[in-house]
Amino acid sequence: MLQTTLLPRVFLMKDKGNEFALADPDPKWSVEAVMHFYANTYPTLTTAKAVGPEIINDTVQYRFETTMGTKG
């Protein structure tokens, strides 16, 4: 018998040079809805784009990349 398993989604982002994972607030939400949800906490996400998915370690990973320039 064939079984299907949904892999958990993980959302990665960088803030102040540190990369970290954000939990999936609702697996039914689109990737864009998750990004808008977290934009309240991380304002840089308002101008970010989602990259992915990429399957790594039995998770489906999306990366939120900001499109703003960096100071340097």
d(CA 64, CA 57): 19
Provide the 8-state DSSP code for 1: -
Determine the pLDDT at residue 51. Answer: 96
Question: Would you put residue 57 in left (φ > 0), alpha (ψ -120 to 50) or beta?
Answer: left
Determine the topology of domain 9-66 in CATH. Ubiquitin-like (UB roll) (3.10.20)
Strands (E), the chain: 9-15, 18-22, 48-56, 59-66
Determine the pLDDT at residue 43. Answer: 93
Per-residue model confidence as pLDDT tens digits over 12-55:
999 888 999 999 999 999 999 999 999 999 999 999 999 999 99
Per-residue model confidence as pLDDT tens digits over 44-69:
999 999 999 999 999 999 999 986 65
Determine the pLDDT at residue 68. Answer: 63
| Ranges of each domain in the chain | 9-66
